[in-house]
Every structure is written in structure tokens, then in C-alpha cells.
Structure 1
């Protein structure tokens, strides 16, 4: 089944354009709230570690733990709750995130804070696994790439607005206040999801067997997952510790970190828009450019980013490259598996979040045992490997010859549903 066929079958089930794009924006807000929650510790790592009396490497577990949980939650939620209306699931997961942030704001110890981050991870993994493939259910085929870019614009906007705002709030008041603000954001996202997103009845269940088939029977999916692991692990190996890198290696004052993270987010938003446009036409070229830009920024940071100006410039280049990662990879997965979008997305989200966790862990070891520059070189090596894999691999929309011809046919699109209604 082609991407066009899988999507065309759903045309009569979509809401009118205004409702469709309102729903897309509501889902993007949910992604924004979740990614702000996931990345907030990056801007507040130092004050949290100081108040709760843990090292910077240990504090990095605030990124690692939800990543591990999200990796497990992505396939589990889609398989276990496959028959439940998607809007109901999305709303419940956002509500869980809001409660987890409230618990984080009140946490008396680091152990309690980590327990709350487990709940954050469950919300992230389940929400993203469902939301990542919703564009094909809401808008016509010609707008799917744009709608996917809007949804994943929530990731970039989290870096542009969410994390810098949380960092400013933490510096001005306290890190606990910042977590409380994100809890309120989650509550607002919950209301808008219920109001703006139409009911989205589940199609054929995205069971573990379907995910296994999407992985084993599709070389494009496997390459997409490998690229996800390399790019995301590489990024978070360095980015988890960007605050101490900026203040230590580049000599930037702590009070300026929030403003630089704002610039990083602006560059990331631009990268998301550029990658969304390019990936819609050529997903392989988009991922190759993304990987090369990230490699250039990360490898140059250690030898050249030793001043505030050079560190800031390289941070912006880094943000531009990473801004396209989510939408580029999601578009790759949709084009690789047009007949199994939700299963492929669940695998992608699981790999993405496992890689966030792995990157935080690898970066923590490098920072504690080596140095910040060691983390940067490890990160650059991983993104360079991603560029090589994408350059040598098949296009996502190329005919898949990984089947011998005797296995089962590609599964019917699990993004397809019988009806979409208010």
C-alpha cells in the first residue's frame, strides 16, 4: 500500500479544515508541554543539584529516568489501550504529566523527584506515540508534512519558550516554582485537547505483533530507528549538560544561560520549519543535512567555543541542526511504513526516548569521569555515524526488498479509523 492510498482512504473521515488545524495546534501544545517538562531540568540542573545535594552527573538522571520510562511506555500504551478513543488517551496522559510536575515542585528529596519523573516519562512516551502519526488522520495528504511539522514545532517551541522561561523562573524565584508553572501549563493543554481535538476512535489495534512486523519486515523502519538512536543519543550526550558547558568551557555568566537557551530554541524552531519542508520532498536529504550540521557544531564546540561569542554562535548552529531531528525522523517513519503509521511511530518514540536516556547517561559518565569536551566529542562521533548510515542506506519510500515474498503482506494502516467526530 502506498502512502497516498493509505491516506486517501481516510479523506471522508476527516474534520473540516478549521477544526482539523485547531486539533493539530492543540496536539502541538500538548507536545510543547511535555517537551518543556522533559527538558526543564537541563536549564535548572545546577540549582536542583545544589539544593538536593547531588552531583551534576547524578542530577542528569532527571533526563535519563523519564527517557527510559517513555521508551517502555510508547509501545505499551499503544498496544494496551489500542481500542480506546485517542483523544481520551491524550487527555489522560497530559493530566498525568501535570500531576507529576506538581509532585516535582513539592519533592522533599531527589528520590521523590525521580519518582515523579517516572510518571513524566509515561506521559511523554504514550502521548508522543499516538500524536506523532495523527496528521494523516486530520489533514489531506498534501498537508501531512506541514501538519507534522506543526505538531513537532511543539518540540522546538519548548526549547524556544518553555525551557528558557522555566530557567528564568527558576533563577528569579526557585526551581520548584518553575515546575509548578509547567504543571499549570499541562492543565491548560488538557482543557484545549478536550475542546479542540475531535473524537478519534481507534482503528485496528497497534499490537506488539504489528510493531514486530513493522520492524522485521521494513528496512526503512530499521534504518530510521538506527538514525534516531545515533542522532538523539549524540545530542543529549552533550545537551543534558549544556549549562555547565556554557558557563565552564565558554565562560558565559550563569545569568545569561537562559537568554542563550532562548536563542537555541529560536534556531531550533527555524530548523524544524526548514526540515519539515525539505523532508516532505526528500526525507533522506533532510536527515543527512541535519546530521552533518549537528556533527559540525558539536565537533567545533570544544576547540572553538572557548569564548562567550564563539560558544553562542556554535550553540545557535547546534540548535538549527537539532530543530529538524523530530520532524525529519517522523516523516521518514511515515514514508517508510505508510501502511503501519502508528506501529512505526510507537517504535520511533520508544527509540527516541531510550536514546534521550542513553545520552543523559553517557554524558553524565563523560562529564564526571572525563570532561565536558569529552562529552562533546562522543556526541559528534555519534551524529557523524548517523550521517554515514543515512547516506549509505535506502530511501524511506524506496521499494522494500527485505521480504522474501513469502512473508505476510504489509499491515493495513493502523492510523485508519472508521470515523472521526466531535
Structure 2
């Protein structure tokens, strides 16, 4: 989920759509998102191999998100004089270097260094992907190109966690990162061959982000986004330890449950457009409410593998609609600055990943996975209440929900 953080109204440089380039960018996004969330499915063996707690190993997610947050805000300004083709290729090189460093790192410190490189690549590549798509195809075909690029995230969501868990058991977690390296290498060479030169526009500036953020409706929305995604990523980062320790499933059961989560998430994303056409307001409200209730229900049920598997799948389906809903909210809330608003959403989500993983790690080391899930559910219910109050106040003030959600 993203919107370009640089100028999105740049004229297309060719009348012929460069679909091979679009698919090359999609593979890059898939490789990045896969690498970002592999630790969530490999947390236990990584911690054991590196001689650290699972809470400490969870910080491999934290550091990546923290660096991606900073990069997403600065990358367009810092690279405004550089050919976008060169910039994208550089991110793919960082992706490959990151995975190699993690795969061979003997200590947590070196793993974290590798994840810093990944954070730079994710924050930059993901933030620029929409703007680049607008340079690769004619204006009328931009929605189709963006849907293809976004599918890389959905496929990574479905595949990364279950396959990471399964192959981590068979060949070891380090070899899983070597496989991710191969995908990154393929993405680099494909992009090297098919990406055209894309001259920089040199118009990006930080002031626009500040101006958009000063709008009251935007501030309330960003706090809500932060709470919702923090609750989700605290849950998702420590899902494997919960399933292993509390639910009591083995590796095969874990892989099946994570696959169910991914498939349900893909379904939720696919159905989001249909749901949003009927009510953006109810989608913004009901999805975090459902997720919060599910988190608390998982803790209450305890050792109930079948019920837990169903609840995890329902969580995945509910969350699938969340990024689409908040992206839609941005287009209706700040239509005059949708690109800058989208850039702020990217930063908020990355900060939420940082906060969710970091706070989750502290809670996990103190209260275990059940404590993390209770905290996650509480944060999501607070987010639901805040969204409800915000929407109600706006409605009572006579502001149409359709225009400002």
C-alpha cells in the first residue's frame, strides 16, 4: 500500500505501455515485501541460532520498518536529480546485499545491519513504485499498472509466511534468505534489461508533507492509521510463537495456519473494493473492531487449534481490506494532495510496524505471546473508538462522510 511521494502528474514518456517493465517492478515489490516479513515466520529458529530471545529477534522487523519510515519521507528529495531507473536498480542491489548479509551473519548485530539495508530499499522502492508506474504506461492504463504492482504485495503476503516457515524447517532459516536473494537477483537483472531511462523531475519538497499534515482531519486519520497498523503488526510479528506455545501446533500445522492467513488476506483485499463501494465509513470501523475482538478471542480460547486457525484466517481477511480502505480515505480526504497524503500513509505504516514489533517484543519477553495479543486487541479497540468518534463528530458538523470519511 502506497502512493507516490514524488510528483505523480509527470507526463508519460511513451505512448506504448511498457508492461514488461511494470512486471519487473512488481517482482521487485514482491521480493522486498517477502524479505521484510520473513522473520515473522522464522522468529523461533533465528533466535535460537543467534543465541537471543525471540523478543530480541523480533527487532529485525523493527529496524527495517524504522529505516523504511525515514527513507519513505526523504527519498524523493534526496534523489530528485537522479535517473529513476538508476535509483530503482540501486534499491534492488541493496535488497540482494541485505539478504546475503542476513544469511551469513553470525551475530544479531550483523543481521540488524542487513535489515537496515533492506529498510532503505523498501522505503525507497515502495514509495516510488506508483510514480514510476505513471512513467511506464499511458495515463488511461495507470490503474491497471498499479493493480499489477500491488498484486506483488498480495502474493508476498500469501507466500512469504507459510513458505518461510515450511522451508525454514526443511533447509534452515539461513537458506530461506538465500532463496530470497535469488529472487532479488532475478528482479535486478529483469529491471536492468527492461526499465527505460526516467529523467528526474526535481520538484519534490518536504514542505507539502507538513502542509497536509497540519489539516485537522488528516491528523486524526493518521493517529487512527498508526493505532490500527500497530495493533496488526504486534499480532502478526508474534503469531508464530503464539501458535507454537499457546495453541500447541507443530511445524506442519503452523505452515497450514499461516497459509490460511495469507489466502484469507488475499481474499479480503480482493473483496475490499466491493465493500468500500457500499460504505467506506463502516469498513473503516468494522475491520479494526473485528481484529480486536479476534485477538482477545484467541487468548480466551487457548489451546484450540481448529478454532484458532479459523480466527487467524478471519483476521487475515479483515486486515486485507484495511490498506485499501485507508488509501481510499486519503483520496477522499485530501484529493488535492493525494500523493503527499499517500506518502504520509507509507510513513505511518512503517512507524506502526516499528512500534508494533518493538512494543510487542517488550511485552513478549515479560508476558509471553498471550500478553502481546491482549495488548494488540486493546490497541485495535481504542482505534475503533477513535475512528467512531471522529466520524460521528464530522457527521454532526455536517461534513459529508463521503468526502472526508
TM-score by length of 2: 0.86
Of 220, 242, 251, 1:245 maps to 242
Q: Which has the higher helix share?
A: 2
- Deviation at residue 167 of structure 1 after TM alignment: 2.1
Of 152, 167, 170, 1:169 maps to 167
* 8 Å contact kept, 2:103–2:174: yes
Please list the CA deviations of residues 12-47 of structure 1 after superposition, one character each: whole Å capped at 9, or x if unmatched. 737557535x54443332222111111101111111
Q: Which stretch of the first structure deviates more once superposed, 117-126 or 186-195?
A: 186-195
Match of 1:127 in 2: 125
What SS does structure 2 have at the residue aligned with 1:398? helix
Matches of 1:344 and 1:135, distance apart in 2: 18
Match of 2:47 in 1: 49
1:377 and 2:374 are equivalent in the alignment: yes
* 8 Å contact kept, 2:58–2:237: yes
Please list the CA deviations of residues 190-224 of structure 1 after superposition, one character each: whole Å capped at 9, or x if unmatched. 233344555444446221112111212x3443344
Q: Kindly tell me: are residues 280 and 83 of structure 1, through their superposed partners in 2, closer, same or farther at Cα, counting changes over 3 Å?
A: farther
Aligned runs of 1:177-192 on 2, under 5 Å?
A: 177-192=175-190
Q: Which stretch of the first structure deviates more once superposed, 138-147 or 255-264?
A: 138-147
Calculate the aligned-residue CA RMSD, in Å.
2.9
- Deviation at residue 230 of structure 1 after TM alignment: 0.9
Match of 1:318 in 2: 315
1:13 and 2:12 are equivalent in the alignment: yes
- Deviation at residue 270 of structure 1 after TM alignment: 0.9
Of 296, 301, 304, 1:299 maps to 296
Q: Kindly tell me: are residues 95 and 330 of structure 1, through their superposed partners in 2, closer, same or farther at Cα, counting changes over 3 Å?
A: farther
- Deviation at residue 298 of structure 1 after TM alignment: 1.6
* 8 Å contact kept, 2:332–2:403: no
Matches of 1:233 and 1:58, distance apart in 2: 18
Q: Which runs of 5+ in 1 are unaligned?
A: 1-6, 401-422
What SS does structure 2 have at the residue aligned with 1:370? helix
- Deviation at residue 305 of structure 1 after TM alignment: 5.0
Q: Kindly tell me: are residues 197 and 287 of structure 1, through their superposed partners in 2, closer, same or farther at Cα, counting changes over 3 Å?
A: farther
Matches of 1:139 and 1:99, distance apart in 2: 30
Q: Kindly tell me: are residues 212 and 29 of structure 1, through their superposed partners in 2, closer, same or farther at Cα, counting changes over 3 Å?
A: same
* 8 Å contact kept, 1:298–1:380: yes
Match of 2:233 in 1: 236
Match of 2:69 in 1: 71
Matches of 1:18 and 1:376, distance apart in 2: 46
Of 28, 32, 35, 1:30 maps to 28
Aligned runs of 1:22-421 on 2, under 5 Å?
A: 22-132=20-130, 148-203=146-201, 205-216=203-214, 218-279=215-276, 283-391=280-388, 392-393=390-391, 398=403
Match of 1:411 in 2: none
Matches of 2:272 and 2:200, distance apart in 1: 30
Please list the CA deviations of residues 220-239 of structure 1 after superposition, one character each: whole Å capped at 9, or x if unmatched. 43344223211111011121
- Deviation at residue 383 of structure 1 after TM alignment: 1.8
What SS does structure 1 have at the residue aligned with 2:82? coil
Matches of 2:25 and 2:92, distance apart in 1: 10
Matches of 2:383 and 2:226, distance apart in 1: 8
Q: Which runs of 5+ in 2 are unaligned?
A: 1-6, 395-399
Q: Kindly tell me: are residues 253 and 281 of structure 1, through their superposed partners in 2, closer, same or farther at Cα, counting changes over 3 Å?
A: same
- Deviation at residue 146 of structure 1 after TM alignment: 6.1
Q: Kindly tell me: are residues 156 and 8 of structure 1, through their superposed partners in 2, closer, same or farther at Cα, counting changes over 3 Å?
A: closer
TM-score by length of 1: 0.83
Q: Kindly tell me: are residues 399 and 326 of structure 1, through their superposed partners in 2, closer, same or farther at Cα, counting changes over 3 Å?
A: closer
Q: Kindly tell me: are residues 270 and 233 of structure 1, through their superposed partners in 2, closer, same or farther at Cα, counting changes over 3 Å?
A: same
Q: Which stretch of the first structure deviates more once superposed, 131-140 or 338-347?
A: 131-140
Count of matched residue positions in the alignment of Structure 1 and Structure 2: 391
What SS does structure 2 have at the residue aligned with 1:82? coil
Matches of 1:234 and 1:8, distance apart in 2: 31
What SS does structure 1 have at the residue aligned with 2:403? coil
Please list the CA deviations of residues 266-292 of structure 1 after superposition, one character each: whole Å capped at 9, or x if unmatched. 111111112245447754443333323
